[in-house]
Amino acid sequence: MRHVQRRFVLAALVFGPLGVQADEIWNPVADPGAVVVSGLARFTVLTPGLIRIEWSPDGTFEDRASQVVVNRRLPVPKFTQCMERDLRVSTQPAALNNPPHDVESDEGGKVLVLRTDRIELRYLPDGNPITGSNLRIAARSGPGETWQLTSPPFLQCRNVDGGPNLGSTVRTLDGVNGGTPLPDGILSRTGWYHLNDSNTLVFDDGPDPWIGPRRRDGATDWYFFAYGTDYKQALRDFTAVAGRIPLPPRFAFGTWWSRYWAYSDRELTQLVNDFDKNDVPLDVLVIDMDWHLDGWTGYTWNPQYFPEPEKFLRWVKSRSLKATLNLHPAEGVGKHEKAFPQVAQAMGLDPATTDRVPFDCASREYMNAYFKFLHHPLEEMGIDFWWMDWQQGQQTNIEGLDPLYWLNVLHWRDMKNREPQTGRRPLIFSRWGGLGNHRYQIGFSGDTFCNWPSLAYQPYFTATAGNVGYAYWSHDIGGHQPGKVDPELYTRWVQWGALSPILRTHTTKNPEAERRIWEFPAPYFEAMRAAFHLRYELIPYIYTAARQCYDTALPLCRPLYYEWPDLEEAYAWKNQYLFGDQLLAAPVTQPADPLTGCAMIEAWIPPGKWTHWFTGRTYDGPAVVPLVVPLDEIPLFVRDGGIVVTQKKSLRSDGAKDEPLVVNIFPGSTGEYTHYEDDGTSDGYLRGKYTTQRIRHTTAGRTKLCTIEAPQGTYPSMPNRSGLEIRWWDGEAIEKLTIDGREIERADQPMPEKTCWGWDLARMSAWLRIAATDVHYPIQVRALLPEQDEKIASFLRNGGRGMSRLYNEVLASLKKRNVVFRENEWVIDPAARASSRTLSGIVLHQMGWKSCMELVADKVTDPAERNRLLLRMLGAWYDIDVARSPDGHRAEAIIRLQSTILNSGLQLSLEQVPDNATLRHFTQLPRFKSEDEPLIARMPLEAADSRATQLVRFNARVAWEDTEVTFEIAKTILPSINAWWVCGPFDAPGGAGLNKPFGPEEKLDLAARYTGKEGHEIGWHRFLRVVKPGDDLTAEFFVDFDDVYGRRVYDCVVYGFTFLDAPEDMDAVLALGTDDGCAIWLNGKEVHRIDIGRPYTSKQDRVPVRLKQGENTLLIKVSQGGGDGGFGVHIEDSQGRALTQVRPRLDPRLPNSSPRP
């Protein structure tokens, strides 16, 4: 061992104020037993799957905490070290010897070898920087835990072009329309990851550690992670060195109201009252920037809106609400601010001769004054936390320091240091500042767009952020810009928000933008309110999952591959995620089918049995299943034997604290869960002030057993007595029930002061209500079951609860139309239904279902409503997928039709309705007997113009017994105009260009040349939709100016032009969107003009026009201020259907038309 030297710090440094800011004591100095020095390199074995690799030209190394890594003092893992002759790594490294460090070295060997049970590292200390010529690593990370070889520069981990890295997150989604590429994260399908920490800043060793540069001497500071498919262990290793993910206060999981609007205190008071009046829960008031005096930055209340802020904030507290204020600190402190004199004096400036104290977050003096004079007084007034809305660049007076990251650190530290006085644990609400920012927990994702693609991206984006420990993204529910949102889209967004880390509605200052859910039509309002209440019922479960996140680094929203890393579907179904460890969510992110008002989606069911939260149907996985999702349902599934602890209905997150918790037990023979509680507000959870309570259940034969153990631990506000409710959602009837051997009386409904049990007919669940008792004792519940009726059991397994809801919906529709019927004829046991004593009373008989359908077909005269109800009762699910062939030259439509309810006696047929496409091959199956065998038709599409808009249309027929429904299934392919002549950019500063003619609107000449922006010569050129394999052929074509010019263009005007061929004189609608304003000429006549600054939304303007037979000319002029720019145009009829007979083209029809350039 003579060739190996050791260098380590004898006395480890434990940070003071900086250390505690991350909810734990940081110790950046590793245990000497984990450190091995070889030449100019140092290796620290941190865990079996994590080794730090350092190289320094002078042999000195970095022991300070970095922006990313703050704790290296971990238990020394088992490893061996020895010297060998060969740098080459075997694909089957030697087994780990026991005990560590006792492996005999090869005499004369020069290669250092370190081995754990997951990594073998070999290093030749040749004095050169680390490269593949002197460092080799083998990691037990391949399929089946095989060993893989790797060496610098570690190029295998890239999250691009289908690469193996699983991604991380980005600073913000500001301006992102739909999705955006994600950079690398810690997790990769290669099973290993290389983290380069060489260029991050470090904290000094002072009592109040400040950030600063490393020694810039070409030193290397790497962390090599090896985990195979154990992604959970990778996250534990990452947070072991990078700091845990702090537990947010409990109120953070309630509803946040946020809107960019100049609210007054009276308006906010009315808003809160409206929340309560409309039975909508609320916990947090987010007050945007108009709270302060005019300007981007401000710290003084605007008396126009808040004449008595102290009084208003006292009222907020009286309503059990929290308040946060928006911050834009970049402009420093102006002379108009109330605290300006104190801040100026603290900076050594004369307030009389100083106009502004510039912002400088790299200055200790400025930041001390910033908190002491600007923030603490407002916090003492009643502000609970701050919304750091930083958007002003990434530079400070410390080279390499991003102000966003540093402001997050300092705000956290300030709240942490004040916790003994305030009793509030820190809460940061800001954008992501890079690796290490998971220690400052809640992210604000920025100004997203109000459209379906943006909603569809957010579940994947949120879950993927967990790959770097960023567990709590908060999105603008409903989207930010342009603000106005479709009611259905908003409803589905709220439902996703209810199953996301933070539920916060938001939008821009647009009078047409509405986010108060009670202002939407009743069906949408009721569905959204139900989602809000579901969220609040789940808060105990969510809060327990948040504690699990602190303990294990597993986020609330977890990618499926965390649990099923060996299944390809776990990577492919990106919009699904585990919500905690008991629930699987597949939120609806696409519009509903217009005929049924339900979303037609598919979901992947992972291995095992999963029960639908709303319908009670149990699915066997792994399988892809079709789902018909009504507006008021969310595809949410509970794992086999799952236990979900909920609270009673409440308008505040802590509003049900005096009510009993509800232990919900779902179908399955066995299950176990540990429930967590603390005071919800303080840092006591870091000091062991909390309780955990284990809950177990089993079913064996005719006996159900549920054991609720006594809580372990305590916290100051813990109640000594509490009630409890247990609900069994398997629908099985109970014959007898005992608690600790004592038989319990049955009752028709729960009674708060009496222990009793009963049957809930409406929700098909058995319940037990336990009156308040001493919480320090365990409870054992035993239920004896009667002999089960297999017909009833089958009904429940196949979604009986959902069928009952549908049945009631149909009855309500019939009653609304004054249809006379006798409900009791439609159940197996009418007497049982009346008595509500046995489950058989609500099981619908097949003939009853048939009779109900016949009544709908006969008595409901509105064709649309009749078809809607019949399609719902038939369980009709249908879809058209459109995709390019692998060679990219052909498109194929795949039509699927099946039932999700009925599985026998069903007849299905499909008949194509031609629309500018030729059917070359069509397969039709007249019948099927299983819902797993859908009717499938394939239609290869052919068209002379591959960019022409086409409509795939089929007449579908669904029949069962004597009832049938015929309806149309259609989908538009390549919607919008997909080819344009484009000319620009023309210089138009100040947004004045729309009213200034630049030539094309006066005389259209496709060969003309013009003087464009910055004096460049410009002309017309083609910009075409290019269809690549894998593209969504149903998406519109957006002419993005960034793509047109290969760069961002500002303060300009851009023109677009195309010919339109119409088969006859006809009415049409130009459905268009532009960023920003636009003017349109059809056949030389102006037909539309809107001079406005706005973000793009598809079809935000609808312009009725009259097309002439033959050739028409269409010219669009778009003004572009700052940010994004572009346009998209559809040709439709007045009902919004594509006019596929109108054909755009670029080439003129006649030889004497303007020549092609």
Environment class of 718 (CB within 10 Å of its CB; exposed 0-12, middle 13-18, buried 19+): middle
pLDDT at 950: 84
User: What span, in angstroms and rounded, lies between the C-alpha atoms of 605 and 1?
Assistant: 55
Q: Which two tokens stand for residue 576?
A: 């699904």
With cut-offs at 50, 70 and 90, classify the pLDDT of residue 97.
Answer: very low
pLDDT single digits (tens) 561-605: 999 999 999 999 999 999 999 999 999 999 999 999 999 999 999
The mean pLDDT value for 442-451 works out to 95
CB 248 within 8 A of CB 441: yes
* Amino acid found at 965: V
Long-range contact pairs involving 751-754 (C-beta distance under 8 Å, separation at least 24): 752/723
Whether residue 7 has pLDDT greater than 60:
no
pLDDT at 681: 98
pLDDT at 761: 82
Whether residue 8 has pLDDT greater than 70:
no
Lowest mean pLDDT among 253-262, 604-613, 705-714, 795-804: 795-804
741: left (phi over 0), alpha (psi -120 to 50) or beta: left
pLDDT at 158: 58
The Cβ of residue 101 has, within 10 Å, a number of other Cβ atoms equal to 13
Environment class of 1097 (CB within 10 Å of its CB; exposed 0-12, middle 13-18, buried 19+): buried
Lowest mean pLDDT among 8-17, 921-930, 1020-1029: 8-17
pLDDT at 513: 93
With cut-offs at 50, 70 and 90, classify the pLDDT of residue 313.
Answer: very high
With cut-offs at 50, 70 and 90, classify the pLDDT of residue 885.
Answer: low
CA angle 282, 287, 291 (to 5 degrees): 150
Whether residue 1157 has pLDDT greater than 50:
no
Lowest mean pLDDT among 155-169, 524-538, 659-673, 823-837: 823-837
The kind and range of the H/E element at 792 are: helix 790-797
pLDDT single digits (tens) 944-983: 356 888 888 888 989 888 888 999 898 888 899 999 999 9
With cut-offs at 50, 70 and 90, classify the pLDDT of residue 829.
Answer: very low
Whether residue 837 has pLDDT greater than 70:
no
Lowest mean pLDDT among 240-254, 318-332, 860-874: 860-874
With cut-offs at 50, 70 and 90, classify the pLDDT of residue 103.
Answer: very low
Give me the percent of the chain exceeding a pLDDT of 70. 90
Torsion angle, alpha carbons of 860, 864, 870, 875, to 10 = -160
Q: Where are the beta strands (DSSP E) in 988-1109?
A: 1009-1011, 1017-1019, 1021-1024, 1039-1040, 1052-1062, 1066-1075, 1078-1082, 1085-1090, 1101-1107
Residue 1015, classed as helix, strand or coil, is helix
pLDDT at 157: 56
pLDDT at 901: 87
- For residue 579, give the nearest of 598, 565, 601, 562 by alpha carbon: 562
Q: Write the DSSP symbol of residue 373.
A: I
The mean pLDDT value for 182-197 works out to 95
The mean pLDDT value for 395-402 works out to 95
With cut-offs at 50, 70 and 90, classify the pLDDT of residue 507.
Answer: very high
Give me the percent of the chain exceeding a pLDDT of 90. 73
The mean pLDDT value for 305-327 works out to 98
Q: Which two tokens stand for residue 1019?
A: 């002309």
pLDDT single digits (tens) 899-926: 998 777 788 888 877 654 433 333 333 3
HEC string for 737-777: EEECCEECCECCCCECCECEEEEECCCCEEEEEEEEEECCC
**What are the residues whose beta carbons fall under 8 Å from the beta carbon of 727, sequence distance 6 or more?**
662, 663, 664, 665, 760, 765, 766, 767, 768
pLDDT at 175: 85
pLDDT at 1106: 98
In order of their start, the domains of the chain are: 17-141+191-242 (no CATH), 332-381+394-422 (no CATH), 660-788 (2.60.40.1180), 792-871 (no CATH), 875-972 (2.60.40.2430), 979-1145 (2.60.120)
DSSP codes, 1097-1155: -TT-EEEEEEEPSEEEEEEEEEEE-SS--EEEEEEE-TTS-B-TTSEEESS-SSTTSPP
With cut-offs at 50, 70 and 90, classify the pLDDT of residue 106.
Answer: low
Lowest mean pLDDT among 155-159, 475-479, 614-618, 717-721: 155-159
The kind and range of the H/E element at 698 are: strand 690-700
Whether residue 845 has pLDDT greater than 70:
no
pLDDT at 230: 96
pLDDT at 6: 31
Residue 195, classed as helix, strand or coil, is strand
* Amino acid found at 963: T
The kind and range of the H/E element at 407 are: helix 403-422
CB 1119 within 8 A of CB 988: yes
pLDDT single digits (tens) 626-668: 999 999 999 999 999 999 999 999 999 999 888 999 999 999 9
Beta strand 721-728 with 661-665 is: parallel
pLDDT at 1097: 87
- For residue 727, give the nearest of 753, 759, 700, 755 by alpha carbon: 759
The mean pLDDT value for 683-703 works out to 96
pLDDT at 93: 58
The mean pLDDT value for 689-704 works out to 96
Bigger pLDDT: 974 vs 673 = 673
**What are the residues whose beta carbons fall under 8 Å from the beta carbon of 277, sequence distance 6 or more?**
none
The mean pLDDT value for 846-863 works out to 84
pLDDT at 10: 26
CB 1052 within 8 A of CB 993: yes
pLDDT at 522: 97
pLDDT at 647: 98
User: What span, in angstroms and rounded, lies between the C-alpha atoms of 781 and 773?
Assistant: 15
**Omega within 30 of 0 (cis) for the link into 620:** no
The mean pLDDT value for 382-401 works out to 95
pLDDT at 912: 77
Environment class of 1111 (CB within 10 Å of its CB; exposed 0-12, middle 13-18, buried 19+): middle
The mean pLDDT value for 1024-1050 works out to 89
- For residue 544, give the nearest of 637, 644, 474, 467 by alpha carbon: 644
Torsion angle, alpha carbons of 1031, 1035, 1038, 1042, to 10 = -40
CB 518 within 8 A of CB 278: yes
Beta strand 1143-1145 with 1052-1062 is: antiparallel
Cross-strand partners of 1066: 1107
- For residue 338, give the nearest of 364, 367, 384, 373 by alpha carbon: 373
With cut-offs at 50, 70 and 90, classify the pLDDT of residue 290.
Answer: very high
pLDDT at 160: 54
pLDDT at 769: 97
Average model confidence (pLDDT) across the chain = 89
Bigger pLDDT: 156 vs 239 = 239
pLDDT at 937: 83
Torsion angle, alpha carbons of 122, 124, 125, 128, to 10 = -110
pLDDT at 108: 67
Lowest mean pLDDT among 614-618, 687-691, 988-992, 1140-1144: 988-992
The Cβ of residue 236 has, within 10 Å, a number of other Cβ atoms equal to 19
Whether residue 19 has pLDDT greater than 60:
no
